[in-house]
Each structure stands twice: as structure tokens, then as C-alpha cells.
């Protein structure tokens, strides 16, 4: 998901920049086309972007590591697990839609505006940066634990064919270190 973060940071910086960023012609055209798609069909574009980044990110990871996840393709002697890749795509697309809708809510939230105004007044943080900080904190400390992790573990369990008891056991074993990582951004 690091590419997804880079794209989002780039988009945020372009919002903060006093003038549009100048990009080489082919990249500029691609960014303009993507921007037009975001305006015309925001949720569909965000969901498709998340799906594409999830599928490509997992494919690169599998090819680079050539170490399949526990029992998925290893038992079949394959180095690329298409089922796992499909699972990452399903998860990425679904969560991309959820996250896109949640950001739409946050963009219109009076609470976000009030928190950004408080940051501007108390810490001299520019208004748009304050809003971005508030939205990022909301996603990192609320949405990820409450939405992202449950959806992720449900998709992993379904893709791997875990029975419910094994799915819960797997999630319990993974959740504490993941929640701690969420807090390590500080």
C-alpha cells in the first residue's frame, strides 16, 4: 500500500501548493485524466484505484518474495497464489469504497472543521493542513481499527477457507501487533 500512500501524499501536497504542480506531459495527462474521473465518478474511481493498487502490490510482493502464504499455494507447489491475489483485490476494492465514502463524510464534517480551526488558532497550523491532520488521525485511530481490520480479516478468512473458529483465532493472533503499529506513527 505504499504506492497508495504516495499517491495520497502527492494529492494532499497538490492541494497545499499555491499553484498546480508541473509534471512531464504524459504523466500530467494521466493525472489530469485521473482527476477528471475523480470528479465525474469519485467512489468508483477510488474503489478501482484501491483494487488496482491492492492487486498489483500483492503481485509484486509475491513475485519478489516467492514465499507463498501459509498453505495457500505452497501445498500446490506454486509460487504465485492467484486466489490470494484475488482476495487482496476484493479487499482493496471494498475498502477503497468504504474509505472514499468515509472521506466524503469527513470532508463535510463540522467536527473536522472545528478541530482544524483549533489547530490553526492554537498551533498556527494552516487550515487545509489541519483538516488533513484531523482526517488522517480519524482514519488511523478510528477507521482502521473499527473498519479496515475487521474487513481485512473477514476477506483473509474467506480466501483461505478458514472455518469461523480458525478465522477468529487468526484475527486474535494478529490484531494486537497491528493495533500497536497504528500507534507507532506518533
Per residue in 93-110, pLDDT tens? 999 999 889 988 999 999
Cell of 170: 487468526
Within 13 Å and on the Cβ side, how many CA atoms surround 155? 20
Per residue in 58-71, pLDDT tens? 999 988 887 545 55
How far apart are the C-alpha atoms of 144 and 184, rounded to whole Å?
Answer: 14
* pLDDT of res. 69: 55
Residue 81 has pLDDT above 90, yes or no: no
Residue 52 has pLDDT above 70, yes or no: yes
Whole-structure pTM value: 0.67
Give the pLDDT band (50/70/90) at residue 9. very low
Cell of 33: 485524466
DSSP three-state, residue 116? helix
Please state, in angstroms and as integers, the Cα–Cα distance from residue 172 to each residue in 54, 141, 153, 161, following that order: 23, 18, 10, 17
Per residue in 134-154, pLDDT tens? 998 999 889 999 999 998 899
* pLDDT of res. 1: 42
CB 182 within 8 A of CB 148: no
Which of these, 12, 6, 10, 104, lies nearest to 53 by C-alpha position?
A: 6
Residue 133 has pLDDT above 80, yes or no: yes
Spell out the long-range contacts of 75-78 with Cβ–Cβ below 8 A and sequence spacing 24 or more.
Answer: none
How far apart are the C-alpha atoms of 29 and 23, rounded to whole Å?
Answer: 9
Average pLDDT of the chain is 81
Amino acid at each position: 500500500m505504499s504506492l497508495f500512500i504516495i499517491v495520497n501524499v502527492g494529492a494532499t501536497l497538490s492541494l497545499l501548493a499555491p499553484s498546480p504542480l508541473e509534471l512531464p506531459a504524459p504523466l500530467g495527462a494521466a493525472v489530469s485524466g485521473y482527476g477528471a474521473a475523480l470528479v465525474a465518478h469519485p467512489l468508483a474511481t477510488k474503489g478501482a484505484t484501491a483494487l488496482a493498487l491492492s492487486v498489483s502490490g500483492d503481485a509484486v510482493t509475491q513475485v519478489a518474495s516467492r514465499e507463498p502464504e501459509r498453505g495457500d499455494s505452497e501445498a500446490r507447489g506454486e509460487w504465485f497464489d492467484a486466489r490470494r491475489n484475488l482476495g487482496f483485490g476484493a479487499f482493496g476494492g471494498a475498502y477503497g469504497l468504504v474509505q472514499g465514502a468515509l472521506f466524503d463524510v469527513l470532508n463535510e464534517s463540522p467536527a473536522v472543521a472545528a478541530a482544524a480551526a483549533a489547530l490553526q488558532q492554537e498551533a498556527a497550523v494552516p487550515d487545509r493542513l489541519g483538516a488533513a491532520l484531523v482526517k488522517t488521525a480519524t482514519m488511523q485511530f478510528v477507521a482502521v481499527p473499527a473498519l479496515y481490520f475487521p474487513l481485512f480479516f473477514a476477506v483473509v478468512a474467506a480466501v483461505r477457507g478458514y472455518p469461523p473458529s480458525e478465522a477468529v483465532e487468526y484475527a486474535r493472533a494478529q490484531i494486537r501487533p497491528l493495533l500497536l503499529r497504528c500507534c507507532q506513527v506518533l
